[in-house]
Every structure is written in structure tokens, then in C-alpha cells.
Amino acid sequence: MRALSRRMKLAAAIVAVAMAVGSYASQNARAETVLRVGMTAADIPLTVGQPDNGFEGFRFIGYVLYDALINWDLSSADKASGLTPGLAESWSVDPNDKAKWIFNLRRGVKFHDGSEFTADAVIFNFDKLMKTDSPQYDARQASLVNFRIPAVKSWRKIDDYTVEFTTKEPDSFFPYQICYILMASPAQWAKTKDWQKFAAEPSGTGPWKLDQLVPRERAELIKNSGYWDSKRVPKTDRLILFPIPEPATRTSALLSGQVDWIEAPAPDAIPRIKSAGLNVVANGYPHIWSYHLSRLPDSPWNDIRLRKAANYAIDRDGIVKLLGGYAIAAKGHVQPDDPWFGKPGFELTYDPEKAKTLLKEAGYGKDNPLKVKISISASGSGQMQPLGMNEYIQQNLAEVGIQVAFEVMEWQSLLDRWRAGAKADQNKGIHATNISYTTQDPFSSFTRFMQSDLHAPNGVNWGWYADAEMDELLKGAKTAFDPKERDTWLAKVHTKQVDDAVFVWVVHDVAPRAMHPKVKGFVQAKNWFQDLTPVYIQE
Amino acid sequence: MIAYIVRRILYVIPIALGVTVFIFSLVHLAPGDPLSAVVAPDAPKEVVEQLKRDYGFDKPLPLQYVIWLGRAVTGDFGISVATGRDVTSELGPAILNTMLLAVAATLVGFSFGCLLGGIAGYFQGRSLDKLATGIAVAGISVPHYWLGLVLVIIFSVELNALPAMGMGPGGSRAWAWDAAHMRHLILPVITLSVIPMGIITRTVRATVAEIRNQEFVQALEAKGLRKHQVLRHIAKNAAPTVLAVMGLQLGYLLGGSILVETVFSWPGTGFLMNDAIFRRDIPLLQGAILVLALFFVALNLLVDVVQTAIDPRMRRN
């Protein structure tokens, strides 16, 4: 009897302790934190490896599910965003043959499916994009990204953690190009050998893993707790992406609490968003809204006086006001705090009198206006508020004696015309085109527009600009492998670009985004891409 | 009657063929490269050419049409240029999502339309007629894109009573007939139903008013029939005309409203086609328009058959 009683007391004690522990655990069990984002895209960007939907695709799927050998440094809101080691710990150019690059890969990195990241994965992914006879070749992914890596000629594995790339010629811009090539898991692809099936169960090395995908409705991603960069393991458990292409719907979704974060709120809704106690964040980033001028023989823009006059005529501060303060008046193609800004002597100020003087010298004025036609779009990625902005500028230019007629078209049509170049029949009579550009890397910022041989069909030097001195400066930048030296060359490129008024520049976008005050930790980098890993929800 | 139905079904074949030619031509006549919206603007030429070959865009147009038609009759509408997904797998769920919205909007719009139109027609010239007609005109005149946005501002943003977008927790795949999901139907259904409601109201009003003034109605009243019995006769006579209009309106609703579905991010055929248009996703556009056009043709056939079944005059003719 006594023994039974002791056993019963022991059993009761164990039960009591278990209940206490269980109660403690349940009280302290953390509910999953969820960040819900409303994107501007009309569909979830492709999850197959290389995303579509432009840079928004990279922002919310590309760099979320995947890494590149070199990533962007998105940790600071104050300084220009540069490159940082990704799946490659280091890289260097062969001093004896500057067309050869050696990349030393990071060890111990695993794909989401558990397989290891090695040099074989690098070869696999480059073959996927460029080796048309490889079983994994995907023309669709190639069409989305190959133009961003024009320098590469060949690639080979040296050992499991070393890869060698050969470029077509010495090209110091190569690291900037590598960061757009994302590493998908060869082992995952090998299970089905079908990129469509891969897209449904993608596997990268990125800080998030895909949990659920409902095309055109939502993508749910969960944090990758085993991410190779322990400092960038997401602080939110679950990220849900919603495609909400209509700006008013996005704004309403945020205001009604259906989402926590929206991209690109409608500018006229920003006061309403702020009055509801929500936060609007914005920061300059490598973007320029400008007019890309034709330099064909019959174009009036071959006269530098007219190019400068047009630049003087634009009230950039007025445009910033038109956009509710959400823009930065341009001082050049890149922003003054950019290491490539240089020291241009031509200052972009609003000076209609100077504009009129220059026009008069060139034989124009209000009585004999310069008549030009510009192709513009009604909307489009990075185009901001094209109709309103163009109408405002049209008035500015009319006041000094430049009469602008617009040919308004749908965004994709404008891009078709842009690809075709100023000489194409469809662009006959068009003296400039209004397409916003990224200035994130040297090739995208300068080379593709100003290198004389990169006109259509070889590239997007839309206006057929050709200047021997500029070609030399671009070559100097391309062959300067010391980063500081390269920046110096690029500063010379930009200085000449501004001094020659190669474009008519207007404003830089600041990528406003609106979010609930419970969303904390976000650092808006000066980059088209953003890091969602430090974001957390504070209820 | 059977012969009539068989004849009408046989007429559908040349109509459907004509529709396919029309759709195919229209989509390909639009300016621009078929891949320009889905490849990067400065994609390498050789890659673009490879994609053209993969999608068959390098073949002559008549051959592309024949290949497409041959596959379409088996239910294979090809692969979406934008997403690489099978067009049929994209269309199927979108059509179901639009049907959910369309049927709900039909029930609301047609019910209110018949009620208001009946009242207006029966009390023609009186204040009830004016009130009902006013509501109908407002319904037809108000742009439903604007109405949708206003309803969202009032009920989602200000009152926080109803959601602004989507098909509910978990999306369309997790649809359930519960309050959490039905809440998402309310605002888009109201928005979508106002135009059909207005049109049905006016049609019913005009038809009822016309029939009300016919001699046989006076004869029925003189015979001593009660109001509800007279109304039954009026309704039977009004039905063929109203049914024809309802059929057209249902076809319009099933087509999916691009504007309403975009405002509410409702993943139906309208939302799908909006994206397909902007991305020049030709296979998806062709497939979507063809299926919806055939829906319309089938619906009209059904309306004709029902009209014939209920109207003895048409049967005699």
C-alpha cells in the first residue's frame, strides 16, 4: 500500500511537471510572422531561375529564391549600392590574360532540395542560358537575361569550387554582369528535366523557399533557416506576394489591411496613405527619366546649342512638385552622389532665358519655333507618370520656342520602336524617345547607349550616337580593372556625356513604397533590388 | 422542334469556324512582334529567333492558323508565351472563377432587373415607374470601373467591412462557400450586376408596358381575372424578348469584365486577358477569346431553343 502510494505520488508529480512545461511552451510558442506584399506585376514572376517582369521579378522572386555568384550590397540606404560576394567568395582577373576571370566558390552551400552547390551548378546554369545543345537549355530564360552578360565567351570548371570565365575581350564590367545570372539547382532539374515542373517546385540557394504558388494570385515563401549567410536569414517566417497591377486596388488593399506593403502607390494617394498612419518610404536609386535623342544627320539635336537649350528649358523642380515630391531633379545621367558622376561643367538648371539665347543663336525662337516629335508611352515600368510629365515639359519647351508633338503609344510598342533604332522606318520623323533607364551598372548606364557600334540591330544606341572620344573613354573604363581607376574613367564618361548634353535629362525616380507601421527593419537601398531579409513584423 | 434544334446546332459549325478565322486574324493583325512583350527589349537576336521557332511564329500565317485550329479542336490551345504554362490549364480555372462571379452577378442583376422593370412597366407613367427607370439609367450610365473603386473606398477602406481584392484566404484554389470567402464576392458582384440590371429593367419595362396595352390583356381583365393571373399572362408574353436580352447579358458577363476583375484582382478571364493583351501573349489571347466566343454562341443557341420552347408562335413559324 505504501509502495503504491509512493508510485502514485511520483506519477502525479510527473504529470504536474509535464502540464506545467506544456503550458509554458504553448504560452511562449511564437505565432508565424507573415509579410504580405502587393506587387505591381500582373502575375507572379517566373520562379524557374531567371525571372520575368523586369527588375520587380528579380526583387521579389529572383534574389529571394536564388543567389548569383556576386550579389548586390543592399545593406545601406546612404551610399551607392555596389557588389558583394554571393556564391563566390572571391574573384579576380588573370593579370596575364585579362580576358580570364577566376571565381572561387563558397563551400558548404546547399540548395533548397539539399543538394550541394559546386562548380557543376555554375556550368549547368551557364549552359542553360548559352549552350543551345545542352539538355537544360531554355530559350525563354536566355531571352530574359543573356543581353545583360554580353561579355562572356566561355566558362569551365577548374575544380569543384573554382570556375574560370573567358570574356570576348578584356572587360572590367564583367562582375556587374555576373550578378544577373542566378543559380538554380541541377539536381532538382534532373528529377523532371522540365523547366515548367521546376517552376512549380523551384530550388535555389536563396534566403527564402517557395511553399505555395497559385499563378496570377499569390506566391507564399518561407524562410530558409539554413541560408548560407547567417546575417541574412529572414526575420519574417512567411512572405506572401500578391500581383495587384491596378494602383488604386493596391492602395485600397493596404488601407484596408489586406496587405502590409505595396509597391508604387498612386502618387495622389500618398497623402491619404500617410493620413491613415501608414509609412511611405522612398530613396534615390539608379534610375533616370530622360529623352534619348536622335543623332541621325537630319536631326536638329546634332546642334549642341539646341540640346543644351532643351535642358535649360525644363523646370525640374516643377516636375518634382507635380509628382508630390517623389522624384529627384536630375543633374545628369546619374546622381551627384554616384561615384561615376564626375565634374561636369554644364549644369542642369531651369533657365528659360539661357535656353532662348541658345535657340536664337541657332536661328530659332518663338516666331520660328524648333519643331520636334517625341515618342512616348502612356505607362510602363519606370516611366513614372509619363503623360502628365510630358505635357508639363511640352509647355516648358513651348515657352522658349521648342514645339513638341508627341506620338503616344502603348509601352510594349514603344519598346519595339526603341529596339528598332532611330533609323527604322517606324521611327521616321521621331527626333527623340522617352524611355526611363537603369544606371545600375556601367554597361547599362553608358556603354549600351553611347558606344558607336551598339546601334540597332547590335544594341540600343537608339539615336546612332557616335563620338570617337567617347568610344575611347568607354574603352578606358572597360579595360580598367582596378575599381577606383574604373570609377575615374566612368566619371570622365559621365562628365563628357553631360557637358555634351547627349541626352535631355529630367528626374530620377525614388521608388516610393507604402507599408504598415508594424513592418520594421526595412532599409531602402539605392538599388532597383531590395533586401527583404531584415524586415520583421512588430505587432 | 427537334429538327429546329438540330438545324441550329449545325449552324454553329460555320459560325465557330468564322469566329476562329476572325480571332486569329485580329490578334495577328495587331502591330508588333509576337514575342516583344515577353523577351527583354535588348535580348540577343538569335535567342529571339529560337523562341520564334519554338512557338511556331516563324511559319507563314495560314499555316500557323491551320496548326492552331487542328490543336484547338482537341482542346489544346498551345503554350502561353509569357509563362510557358499550358493555355488550357490557365484558361480552365480562370473560366470557373469568372463563372462564379458572372452567375452571382446574373442572379442579382436579373432578379432586380425583372422586379424593377416589372414594376416600372406595370405602373407606367407613375412615380414608381420614374423611380425604377431612374435606377436603371443610373446602373447603365455609371462606369463600373469607377463604381468598383468607389465601393472599395467606402466598404473596404473607410468602413473596413469588406475586402478590397482577391478570392479569399488561400485564393481561388481554396474557395469555399463560407462567409470568409463569400465576403470577397459581394463588391465585385454588385459592381458587375448594375449594367445588366439596368438593361434588363429597361427591357422588361418596355416589354411589359407594350403588352399591358394590348387588347388581350384588357380582355383578360374584363373577364374578371385577378391581377396576379393577368401578370402571369403578361410575363409569359414578355419572356421571349427578355430571355433574348438576358442571354446576351449573360454572355457578356461570362466573357469576364476586364475592368472589374482588374479592380478587384479577381483571377478570372478578364484579369487573364488584360495581362495577355499587355504581354501580347498570342496563344493565351487566341485560346481565351475562342473559348469565350464559343460560350457566347452556345448561349445564344440555348436562348433560341428556350424561346422556341416557350413561345408557341415561334414553334408554329
Per-residue pLDDT tens over the stretch A22-53: 554 444 457 899 999 999 998 999 999 999 98
Q: Looking at CA atoms only, how far is residue A97 from chain B in angstroms?
A: 27
Hey, is the C-beta of B92 within 8 angstroms of any chain A C-beta?
no
CATH number of the domain enclosing A361: 3.10.105.10
A103-to-A160, A167, A185, A399, A483 alpha-carbon distances in Å: 11, 13, 19, 56, 17
pLDDT the model gives residue B305? 81
pLDDT of residue A28: 46
Portion of chain B with pLDDT greater than 90, in percent: 31
pLDDT digits (tens, 9 = 90+) for A501-511: 999 999 999 99
Residue A73 shares a structural domain with residue A159: yes
pLDDT at residue A9, rounded to an integer:
67
pLDDT at A20: 53
In this prediction the pTM is: 0.89
Is A194 a member of any domain? no
Q: Does residue A520 sit in the same domain as residue A468?
A: no
Q: What percent of chain A has pLDDT over 90?
A: 88
Is A192 within the bounds of a domain? no
Say if A211 falls within a structural domain. yes
For B194-209, write each residue's pLDDT tens digit: 999 999 999 999 998 8
Average predicted confidence (pLDDT) for chain A: 94
A63: confidence class by pLDDT, cuts 50, 70, 90? very high
Structure-model confidence comparison of residues A267 and A307, the more confident one: A307
Give the domain-ending residue among A186, A214, A231.
A186
Domain shared by A81 and A92, yes or no: yes
What CATH number does the domain containing A112 carry?
3.90.76.10
Q: Are residues A246 and A309 in the same domain?
A: no
Give the pLDDT band of residue B229 (cuts 50, 70, 90).
Answer: confident
CB contact under 8 A, A416 and B35: no
Q: Which of B134, B132, B139 is nearest to B117 (CA)?
A: B132
Mean pLDDT value of segment B293-300: 84
Whether residue A446 sits in one domain with residue A298:
yes
In a domain, A200, yes or no: no
Same domain flag for A430 and A301:
yes
Above 70 in pLDDT, residue A271?
yes
Residues in A 245-264 with any Cβ partner in B closer than 8 A: 245-246, 248-249, 252-253, 255-258
* A486 shares a domain with A537: no
The mean pLDDT value of chain B amounts to 87
Q: Is the pLDDT of residue B10 over 90?
A: no
Say if A193 falls within a structural domain. no
Q: Are A312 and A170 within one domain?
A: no
- Please give the tally of structural domains in chain A: 3
Residue B176 has pLDDT above 50, yes or no: yes
10 Å Cβ neighbour count for B12? 15
Mean pLDDT on A178-190: 97
Least confident span in A57-71, A147-161, B277-291: B277-291
Question: Are A316 and A420 within one domain?
Answer: yes
CA distance linking residue A86 with residue A101, whole number of Å? 16
**Residue A198 falls within a domain, yes or no?**
no
Give the separation between CA A80 and CA A284, rounded to whole angstroms: 10
Q: Which of B36, B264, B275 sits opposite A43 (nearest CB)?
A: B275
CB contact under 8 A, A249 and B152: yes
Position A1 scores a pLDDT of 45
Q: How far apart are CA A93 and CA A174, in angstroms?
A: 10
Do residues A501 and A399 both lie within one domain? Answer: yes
Of B84, B156, B267, the CB nearest to A140: B84
- One domain, residues A313 and A264: no
Q: Residues 120-139, chain A: which have Cβ within 8 Å of B?
A: 132, 139
Give the residue among B164, B24, B258 at the shortest CA–CA distance from A42: B258
User: Chain A: nearest CA to B60, how far in angstroms?
Assistant: 21
- pLDDT digit string (tens) for A446-495? 999 999 999 998 889 999 999 999 999 999 999 999 999 999 999 999 99
The nearest CA of chain B is from the CA of A41 a distance in Å of 9
Residue A199 included in any domain: no
Domain span holding position A141: 67-186
Distance CA A341, CA A476 (A): 16
Are the beta carbons of A144 and B173 separated by less than 8 Å? no
Instruction: Assess B156–A contact: CB distance below 8 Å, yes or no.
Output: yes
Q: Is B187 on the interface with A (CB under 8 A)?
A: no
In a domain, A201, yes or no: no
User: Do A365 and A304 lie in a common domain?
Assistant: yes
Find the CATH number of the domain harbouring A533. Answer: 3.40.190.10
* Average pLDDT rounded to a whole number, residues B84-111: 92
Q: Is the pLDDT of residue A2 over 60?
A: no
